[in-house]
A and B are shown apart, each in its own frame.
Chain A
Amino acid sequence: MTRRTPLELAGAEPGPAFTVTFDGRELAVLPGRTIAAALWSAGVTSWRTTRAGGEPRGVFCGIGVCFDCLVTVNGRPNQRACLLPAEPGDVIRTQEGTGHHD
């Protein structure tokens, strides 16, 4: 059986991709995708390290309940990547600890 992509399965005809950066690296993002979906599609599955253990985290519940996918976007920490739509030019950064600086 040939493997296809979710975009093919749903017959998606998205608009042109735009660019965001993740930790300084440029990523192409299809319009409509959340930050989490944008990062997944670029092969990135973790974008936060925990306060105590420094452990990597990414999407867990996928619906905004667990807050595991917190990320810093455009300088605002603790945004839920699974809910927040990506916008052209977004500056996404791996969030460390509380995401706040003293």
Chain B
Amino acid sequence: MTDRTGGRPHLAVVGAGPAGLTAALAAAARGVRVTLVDSAREPGGQFYRQPAAALGARRPEALHHQWRTWERLRDGLARHIASGAVTLLTDHHVWSVERESGSAVVHALLGPAQEESVAVRADALLLATGGHERVLPFPGWTLPGVLSAGGAQAMLKGGLVLPGRTAVVAGTGPLLLPVAAGLAAAGARVAALVEWADPRDLLRHVRVFAARPAKLVEGARYAAELARHRIAVRPRHTVVAAHGSRHLEAVTVAALDRDGRVRPGTERRVACDTLAVGHGMLPHTDLAEALGCRLDGVAVAVDDEQRTDVPGVWAAGEATGIGGAALALAEGRIAGLSVAARLHARTPDPRSYAAPARERAALRAFFAAVDSVCAPPARWAEQVTDDTVVCRCEEVPAAAVREAVGELGAGDVRTVKLLTRAGMGWCQGRMCGPAVAGLAGCPEAAPRRPFAHPVPLGVLARDPAPAPPSDLAPHPAPDPASAPDPAPPSDPAPHSGPASAPVSDRAPRPTRHSPSTGWESP
């Protein structure tokens, strides 16, 4: 479908983080009309998560790295929104995507009430859905005060708030460094940074640093920040347990041997009220899978142009493999250039994206090295006691997973789930999936989730508008007064800029609709 007013082809981008934004700008600059859909109230994604506008932050850059890049993205977005080339839909929670007679349809619930759904129809779709953190379980990890490292960072960046006074940052992976540095800069005492890998192992990968010397500089800068905040760094250590009755009071930290076993006698109790813990990231692949895109391991498989194997569907950023913001920017740019060429029935000239392609290759190699160094210690599951809750939603203990495998004939993650309920709760296994796989001794597999987001049955039951007059069609709503008022394509800008009010502010919040049905009539 092409734009009725300008004849421009239409790209829908899911995710307004570095990958989605870069792609949107690259495509918009080349004659593509772009609708950018994101669940947050502000664009930026997790990496460039912005403080809420009403908090009036004059120095948001104090919480960020690579702020210049963000300024460039932000200003570019504002220009394209003003020109009508880009429509930004914030607070839109995508719960499903469909392919329908050559176009892609994105279904999104309007937040925060999430009682209405809109459909965005486009000629092409870019999935820049990012990732979320992997946290492997240990005794005490469900105590309030224990949270994901990325979660602590997100709350700090978005809400300018800390969970406590004294924090331990633990786990593995490059995210821990900025989290520890950020918490300290914002006023928390960071008692320790506990990393189960030995960062010196990374230095064995000489070639990847030769290709990306900037990463060495970045590492050195973080080391200096940690030193400045007097944060004790404990490589080849792990948090064995978290302690407390109704809230975290302390953690036990211990050293690991070369096999990843806890060294007996090295356990040390560290008092803290916050544990920010993470064990790497996982790509968000729900939408890609619902469309039938091929996965490569747990990430969306893409070609040189960032195309998935489903025609008309591109993917970029963490969804195609974890590699951080710089890689997301490179992939987003390539995707945007490819979309623009393909939607104008051209084959993109590889020379046009040679620079980001080189960047992409080097960063992928770098993060492959990081992955190999930061892989979970082989014996991590041994530290998970039988009574440790593995599935946080359904409160399934490790013993139940072990019993399903040992006694009840489960041999895969799906059967473990059916026998134990691990992964059947609100988060649909996004949190416990890797842990269940590890405990069961099965490969980590991304299960299919037809709904990327819980959707009210009343919304689901309402048919989408047949043949929408515009390509942004609200589903028939029971109460027209509360229905969203999305701009038709001829309206250039529902938002004046990224800092404008979120779309959802138009909808009254807690009222619940009960559309009448035939069955209800007396």
Contact = CB atoms under 8 A, between A and B. Distances in A.
Interface of A: 1, 3-15, 30-34, 36-37, 40-41, 45-46, 50-53, 55-68, 70, 73-76, 78-79, 82-85, 87
A61 B148 contact: yes
Contacts of A37: 155, 158-161
A89 B393 CA distance: 29
B345 interface: no
A6 to B, nearest CB: 4
A59 B144 CA distance: 7
B46 A63 contact: yes
A64 to B, nearest CB: 7
Nearest to A48: B144
B58 A31 contact: no
Which of the four size classes fits the interface of chain B?
A: 35 or more
Contacts of B510: 73-76
A1 B53 CA distance: 29
B144 A45 contact: yes
Given A61-B150, A62-B154, A65-B431, A76 B187 contact: no
Given A32-B159, A55-B142, A82-B155, 15 more contacts: A5-B162, A10-B58, A13-B57, A30-B55, A32-B53, A45-B163, A57-B142, A57-B144, A60-B431, A61-B150, A62-B155, A65-B430, A74-B509, A75-B510, A78-B426
Interface in B29-68: 39, 41, 46, 51-60, 62-63
B269 to A, nearest CB: 21
Shortest beta-carbon contacts, A-B, top 8 = A62-B151, A37-B159, A32-B52, A32-B54, A67-B426, A11-B58, A11-B59, A31-B54
Contacts of B187: 3-6, 8-9
Contacts of B111: 83
A89 to B, nearest CB: 11
B112 interface: yes
B144 to A, nearest CB: 4
Contacts of B158: 34, 37
A48 to B, nearest CB: 9
21 contacts: A3-B187, A3-B189, A6-B160, A8-B187, A10-B62, A11-B59, A12-B58, A32-B52, A40-B161, A40-B162, A41-B161, A52-B395, A56-B247, A61-B133, A62-B154, A65-B431, A66-B426, A67-B427, A79-B112, A82-B151, A85-B52
B152 interface: yes
A12 B57 CA distance: 4
A21 B150 CA distance: 28
Considering residues B63, B427, B512, which has the most beta carbons from chain A within 10 angstroms of its beta carbon? B427
Contacts of B147: 58-62
A15 B430 CA distance: 37
B1 interface: no
Main secondary structure of the interface of A (DSSP, over half): loop
Contacts of B56: 12-15
Interface in B219-267: 229-230, 246-247
B355 interface: no
A88 to B, nearest CB: 12
Interface of B: 39, 41, 46, 51-60, 62-63, 111-112, 132-133, 135, 142-148, 150-156, 158-164, 185-187, 189, 229-230, 246-247, 389, 392-395, 425-427, 430-431, 509-510, 512
B132 A61 contact: yes
A8 B187 CA distance: 9
B431 A12 contact: no
Contact of A70 (B143, B150, B151, B426): B426
Given A45-B145, A76-B512, A85-B41, A10 B160 contact: yes
A16 to B, nearest CB: 10
Given A40-B162, A59-B163, A60-B148, A12 B51 contact: yes
A15 B55 CA distance: 7
B51 A10 contact: yes
Given A56-B246, A74-B510, A82-B155, A6 B161 contact: yes
B431 A61 contact: yes
B144 A58 contact: yes
A62 B161 contact: no
A6 B63 CA distance: 9
Interface centre among A3, A34, A85 (most CB of B within 10 A): A85
B53 A59 contact: no
B144 A84 contact: no
A62 B55 contact: no
Contacts of A40: 155, 159, 161-163
Nearest to B426: A67
Given A58-B144, A63-B132, A32 B512 contact: no
Given A9-B59, A67-B425, A76-B512, A83 B163 contact: no
Nearest to B155: A62
